[in-house]
């Protein structure tokens, strides 16, 4: 009742926003919607029209020359072991800078905050940046689709693109490589060695870690300040028993049914989503992108302010999707995190909970674009007229490794068939009336699928719902007994969904959205991307 009162009081304030002619149209629409919903009592009265605030993260990066603080040389690169920048002229090593001005208190995050590197990409922005060399005055052209640095032909100074340009090539932050090429090679070799037996013979012949690449992939790191409300029903097991005679036994369950509600504040820290349409597209069968997704999470709290010197010796992929395209994914993943968090408070419902209504109100969000480091081995398998690109990827911070190895299906099928045959012969010869012997139909089939999954890892993914930093606060619970249910035949509540995950980019739910949101349009052409890969080798 108290809430309704508050709603009526605050209403004029919400409506008055409509009179403010200076607000952009979408904000107005949003305000109108909220006002309408407030009248209808659907949303809480604390809703405010979203405001956007941009934090400039490329401050002081204009002249294109990053100089050694000690000797002024511009030839600087990353010392992977120490995580420091090193002057290649005088060997002086110095600390990376942190981004300033971003919101660190997610509890009080409101509206929309974005790093200047996360701004919308301009569709026809050029990849080429022209600099005037501050040392000698010559004009130097840097093609950011190739590398964010170039040497001045005249004075040999390095010119770096650190200023954010509207083509998505310069992020707010970068997480420097922390794993050397040797370490990555070792991880990749171990991964493949463990999958040699059923590997495709041509792959075995051609496998070499010589051409692995260090790649900075573009991601969005999103902080979310939200309020979650879940409404549904849960069941608690009272008794489990069997019915029927010796020939036909069935299990039955008695359970208590409850009306369940959970309401809480939820903050999410650095929810990480790919922000290149090509990497986001995990549904295509021509590529094994999901293995790159599966090596998350990264220690994103150690991100530093972007500086093109971190990229020296590595390749990078440009961001080509904007925030609006990623919002549905982020919202779905935040909801997954809320649903999983609520489970901590639902231990009583051992038969599960069926949520009928899940509401996540995002009070504040902060978007930061970042380059995260990956060591990548890629292998193209040609199967008739089909091409499959297999990856083995190593997280260049945590060494987490995942990959896809082409399978010798002929060999795998033969071995599976032999196992199957043995077991069926055994099944026929076993002298028992028990139906249990029929499980011997399974081993050959199981063997096939277990091996297939070990080699291809087609369902591997990042577990955003559990591996993202988050905090649940101010939990309000309602558990109301409804009735005792007797003789149920299901071992779980019907329609159980409290452990379901909907925001994974492994499913193609979001694919149409992503395709619509690509900037430029040619990014999904696998042949073009391929050209880029080979060129880098």
Contacts with Zn ion, residue ranges (CB under 5 A)? 68, 70-71, 73, 87, 89-90, 92, 133, 135-136, 138, 152, 154-155, 157
Least Å from the CB of residue 102 to Zn ion: 30
| Closer to Zn ion by Cβ: residue 68 or 394 | 68
Least Å from the CB of residue 180 to Zn ion: 23
CB 167 within 8 A of CB 127: yes
| Closer to Zn ion by Cβ: residue 92 or 502 | 92
For 474-495, b/e burial (b = at least 16 CB within 10 A) is: eeeeeeeeeeeeeebeeebbee
Q: What is the spatial distance between Cα 174 and Cα 369, in angstroms, rounded to a whole number?
A: 9
| Closer to Zn ion by Cβ: residue 138 or 419 | 138
Residue with tokens 């909801």: 335
| Closer to Zn ion by Cβ: residue 73 or 532 | 73
Measured in residues, the chain has a length of: 537
Q: What angle do CA 477, 353, 360 make, to 5 degrees?
A: 60
449 sits in the region (left: phi over 0; alpha: psi -120 to 50; else beta) called alpha
Nearest CA among 462, 464, 466 for reference residue 402: 462
| Closer to Zn ion by Cβ: residue 157 or 164 | 157
String of DSSP letters for 63-114: SS----TTT----EEEETTTTEEEETTT--EEPPPPP-S----GGG--EEEE
Q: Which helix (H) or strand (E) holds 417?
A: helix 409-429
3-state secondary structure 272-294: EEECCHHHHCCCCCCECCHHHHH
CB 468 within 8 A of CB 339: no
Least Å from the CB of residue 66 to Zn ion: 11
Least Å from the CB of residue 292 to Zn ion: 36
| Closer to Zn ion by Cβ: residue 131 or 314 | 131
| Closer to Zn ion by Cβ: residue 63 or 112 | 63
Least Å from the CB of residue 153 to Zn ion: 8
| Closer to Zn ion by Cβ: residue 136 or 445 | 136
CB atoms within 10 A of CB 60: 10
Least Å from the CB of residue 57 to Zn ion: 25
DSSP label of 518: B
> Token pair for residue 306?
């972007």
Q: What is the spatial distance between Cα 318 and Cα 316, in angstroms, rounded to a whole number?
A: 7
Least Å from the CB of residue 309 to Zn ion: 12
Least Å from the CB of residue 161 to Zn ion: 15
Least Å from the CB of residue 160 to Zn ion: 13
| Closer to Zn ion by Cβ: residue 62 or 516 | 62
| Closer to Zn ion by Cβ: residue 89 or 502 | 89
Least Å from the CB of residue 133 to Zn ion: 3
How many CA atoms does the CB half-sphere of 516 hold within 13 Å? Answer: 9
């Amino acid at each position: 009742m108290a809430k309704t009162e508050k709603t009526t009081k605050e209403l004029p304030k919400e409506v008055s926003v409509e009179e403010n002619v200076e607000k952009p149209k979408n904000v107005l629409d949003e305000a109108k919607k909220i006002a309408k919903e407030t009248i209808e009592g659907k949303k809480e009265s604390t809703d405010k029209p979203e405001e956007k605030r941009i934090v400039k993260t490329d401050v002081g990066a204009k002249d294109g020359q990053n100089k050694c603080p000690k000797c002024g040389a511009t030839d600087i690169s990353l010392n992977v072991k120490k995580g420091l920048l090193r002057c290649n002229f005088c060997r002086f090593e110095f600390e990376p800078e942190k981004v300033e001005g971003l919101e660190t208190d997610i509890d009080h995050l409101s509206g929309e905050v974005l790093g200047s590197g996360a701004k919308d990409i301009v569709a026809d922005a050029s990849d080429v940046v022209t600099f005037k060399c501050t040392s000698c005055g010559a004009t130097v052209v840097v093609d950011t689709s190739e590398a964010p640095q170039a040497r001045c032909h005249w004075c040999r100074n390095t010119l770096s693109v650190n200023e954010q340009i509207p083509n998505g090539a310069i992020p707010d932050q970068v997480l420097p490589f922390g794993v050397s090429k040797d370490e990555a090679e070792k991880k990749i070799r171990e991964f493949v060695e463990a999958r040699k037996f059923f590997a495709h013979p041509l792959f075995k012949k051609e496998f070499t870690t010589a051409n692995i690449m260090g790649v900075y992939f573009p991601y969005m790191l999103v902080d979310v300040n939200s309020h979650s409300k879940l409404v549904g029903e849960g069941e608690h097991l009272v008794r489990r028993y069997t019915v029927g005679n010796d020939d036909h036994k069935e299990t039955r369950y008695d359970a208590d049914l409850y009306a369940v509600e959970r309401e809480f504040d939820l903050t999410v820290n650095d929810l990480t989503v790919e922000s290149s349409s090509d990497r986001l597209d995990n549904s295509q069968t021509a590529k094994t992108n999901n293995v790159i997704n599966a090596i998350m999470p990264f220690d994103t709290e150690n991100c530093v302010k972007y500086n093109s010197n971190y990229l020296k010796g590595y390749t990078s992929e440009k961001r080509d999707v904007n925030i609006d395209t990623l919002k549905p994914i982020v919202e779905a993943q935040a909801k997954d995190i809320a649903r999983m968090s609520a489970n901590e408070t639902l231990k009583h419902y051992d038969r599960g909970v069926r949520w009928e209504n899940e509401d996540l109100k995002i009070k504040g969000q902060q978007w930061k674009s970042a380059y995260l480091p990956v060591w990548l081995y890629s292998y193209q398998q040609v199967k008739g007229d089909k091409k499959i690109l297999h990856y083995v990827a190593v997280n260049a911070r945590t060494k987490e490794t995942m990959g896809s190895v082409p399978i010798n299906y002929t060999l795998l099928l033969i071995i599976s068939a032999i196992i199957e045959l043995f077991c069926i012969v055994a099944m026929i010869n076993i002298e028992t009336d028990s139906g249990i012997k029929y499980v011997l139909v399974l081993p050959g089939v199981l063997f096939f699928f277990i091996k297939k999954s070990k080699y291809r890892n087609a369902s591997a993914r990042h577990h955003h719902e559990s591996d993202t930093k988050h905090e649940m606060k101010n939990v309000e619970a309602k558990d109301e007994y409804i009735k005792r249910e007797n003789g149920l035949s299901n071992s779980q509540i019907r329609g159980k969904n409290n452990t379901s995950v909907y925001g994974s980019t492994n499913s193609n739910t979001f694919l149409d959205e992503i395709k619509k949101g690509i900037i430029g349009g040619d990014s999904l052409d696998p042949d073009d991307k391929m050209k880029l890969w080979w060129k880098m080798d």
